[in-house]
């Protein structure tokens, strides 16, 4: 089979670009062939061989009929993995399946809030959270900005933004785009506020497998044992977003009751290839994941060292998790839409900070999950524009 991602030890920019431009994914399709893509959170790396083998085995058998074998193992395997990785003990019977993480989040919004209810987010925040709240008839976004100094969760800010109509906290930990991994103190304080105001907490932990050395992921549910829905999937760590398979651990009686009231097919179902790929990653993919994480940390560190020496005006906090870099470029005169200037003048596509909520205007988000030659080319193009516009 022809593989189209790039290898961890790739040495050639043109070889990598040829492979990536042959893919159908939005990352490399959205812009022209003269643009380097470092925006959407997809990795450019070749998929884990164990994942490809699992999918190939289904294809080789032509096993495309009704098939619940893989799907029925997901809850158990997720629970075992959480215990092994994070010491988090959960009942597999409380795990529900969704087609992707946002599917689960929008289901919670729809079932557990009403028009006019407020949902708290922690800006800067992954834009689909905002879109999901705004797209759920009449729900209101309540902004609880992270502290700018260190991107810390601030329970006093949370307390101050809650109104009687506030019903839910929608958070992600590790946090996209800042890469923060929240501490026990931060999570304890936030859980206390949620308890006091009877908020449902939807904790999106899809990045929990992608921590850099020195950080420890703490699942939120133990901090608020009866009011938390935890979303997860293998889509970030094993790059499976197109395969549509996610899990929700539902530690909230009201949510479980509402889900159980729904007609059997209204939420759709995980497909066989997504379930097989997820199981393969979770059960057999850890050696691949370890090598990938090592590469991602080296990419992060390489970006840090190049920014420090070549563009010290860029302000950022080195992420503790994710393969994303949230860069404040306000020291450069890039106009109202910095990512647009980088795209038109530098032919490099980073995510715009404008859609991440208040304060995002002067930021761009760079994805470093690619080969070293591509990362260097992305940095070269970005810094070329920045240094032309230094104030």
ω into 174 cis (within 30 of 0): yes
350/386 with CB nearer ligand PLP: 350
Does the protein bind ligand PLP through residue 367 (CB under 6 A)?
Answer: no
The minimum distance between CB 22 and ligand PLP, in angstroms, equals: 22
Specify the DSSP class assigned to residue 123: S
Q: How many CB atoms lie within 10 A of CB 3?
A: 11
Does the protein bind ligand PLP through residue 176 (CB under 6 A)?
Answer: yes
Scan residues 10-69 and list those touching ligand PLP (CB under 6 A): 41
CA distance 125 to 382: 23
54/102 with CB nearer ligand PLP: 102
Contact between 146 and 153 under an 8 Å Cβ cutoff? The reply is yes
User: What phi, psi does 229 have (nearest 5°)?
Assistant: -115, 125
Both tokens of 103, joined, read 């599917």
The minimum distance between CB 308 and ligand PLP, in angstroms, equals: 26
CA distance 147 to 190: 14
Region near ligand PLP per CB under 6 A, out of 28-36, 98-106, 154-162, 360-368? 98-106
DSSP track, 270-329: --HHHHHHHHHHHHH-HHHHHHHHHHHHHHHHHHHHHHHHH-TT-B----SBSSEEEEE-
* CA distances to 113, 196, 219, 318 from 193, in Å: 19, 5, 17, 28
Scan residues 67-96 and list those touching ligand PLP (CB under 6 A): none
| Among 97, 102, 146, 187, contact with ligand PLP (rule: CB under 6 A) | 102
Scan residues 277-296 and list those touching ligand PLP (CB under 6 A): none
Does the protein bind ligand PLP through residue 303 (CB under 6 A)?
Answer: no
Does the protein bind ligand PLP through residue 350 (CB under 6 A)?
Answer: no
Scan residues 215-274 and list those touching ligand PLP (CB under 6 A): 233, 235, 241, 246
The minimum distance between CB 240 and ligand PLP, in angstroms, equals: 9
317/330 with CB nearer ligand PLP: 317
The minimum distance between CB 134 and ligand PLP, in angstroms, equals: 16
41/194 with CB nearer ligand PLP: 41
Site string for ligand PLP, 119-138 (x = CB under 6 A): -------x------------
CA distance 379 to 207: 24
Does the protein bind ligand PLP through residue 206 (CB under 6 A)?
Answer: yes
In total, the chain counts a number of residues equal to 391
Look at residues 278, 270, 285 and name the one whose alpha carbon lies nearest to residue 96: 270
The minimum distance between CB 36 and ligand PLP, in angstroms, equals: 19
38/385 with CB nearer ligand PLP: 38
User: What phi, psi does 258 have (nearest 5°)?
Assistant: -65, -40
User: What phi, psi does 327 have (nearest 5°)?
Assistant: -110, 125
Interface with ligand PLP (CB under 6 A): 41, 100-102, 126, 172, 176, 204, 206, 233, 235, 241, 246
């Amino acid at each position: 089979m022809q593989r189209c991602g790039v290898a961890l030890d790739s040495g050639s920019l043109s070889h990598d670009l040829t492979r990536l431009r042959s893919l159908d994914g939005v990352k490399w399709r959205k812009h022209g062939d003269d643009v380097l893509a470092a925006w959407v959170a997809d990795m450019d790396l070749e998929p884990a061989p164990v994942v490809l083998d699992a999918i190939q085995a289904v294809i080789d058998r032509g096993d495309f009929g009704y098939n619940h074998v893989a799907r029925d193992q997901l809850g158990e395997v997720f629970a075992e993995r959480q215990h092994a990785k994070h010491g988090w003990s959960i009942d597999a019977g409380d795990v529900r399946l969704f087609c992707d993480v946002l599917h689960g989040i929008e289901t919670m919004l729809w079932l557990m809030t009403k028009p006019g209810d407020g949902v708290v987010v922690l800006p800067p925040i992954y834009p689909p959270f905002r879109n999901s709240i705004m797209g759920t008839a009449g729900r209101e976004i309540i902004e609880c900005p992270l502290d700018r100094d260190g991107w810390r969760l601030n329970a006093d800010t949370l307390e101050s933004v809650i109104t009687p109509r506030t019903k839910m906290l929608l958070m992600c930990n590790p946090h996209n785009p800042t890469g923060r991994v929240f501490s026990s103190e931060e999570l304890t304080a936030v859980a206390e506020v949620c308890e006091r105001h009877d908020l449902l907490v939807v904790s999106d932990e899809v990045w929990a497998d992608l921590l850099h050395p020195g950080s420890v992921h703490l699942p939120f549910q133990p901090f608020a044992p009866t009011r938390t829905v935890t979303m997860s999937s293998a889509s970030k760590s094993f790059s499976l977003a197109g395969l549509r398979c996610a899990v929700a651990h539902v530690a909230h009686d009201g949510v479980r009751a509402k889900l159980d009231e729904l007609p059997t097919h209204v939420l759709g179902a995980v497909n066989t290839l997504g379930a097989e790929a997820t199981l393969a990653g979770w059960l057999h993919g850890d050696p691949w994941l370890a090598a990938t994480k090592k590469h991602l940390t080296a990419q992060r560190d390489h970006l840090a060292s190049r920014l420090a020496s070549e563009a010290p005006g860029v302000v950022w906090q080195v992420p503790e998790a994710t393969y994303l870099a949230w860069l404040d470029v306000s020291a450069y005169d890039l106009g109202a839409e910095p990512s647009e200037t980088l795209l038109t003048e530098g032919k490099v596509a980073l995510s715009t900070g404008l859609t991440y909520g208040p304060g995002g205007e002067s930021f761009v988000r760079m994805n470093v999950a690619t080969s070293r030659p591509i990362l260097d080319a992305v940095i070269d193009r970005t810094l070329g524009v920045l240094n032309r516009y230094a104030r």
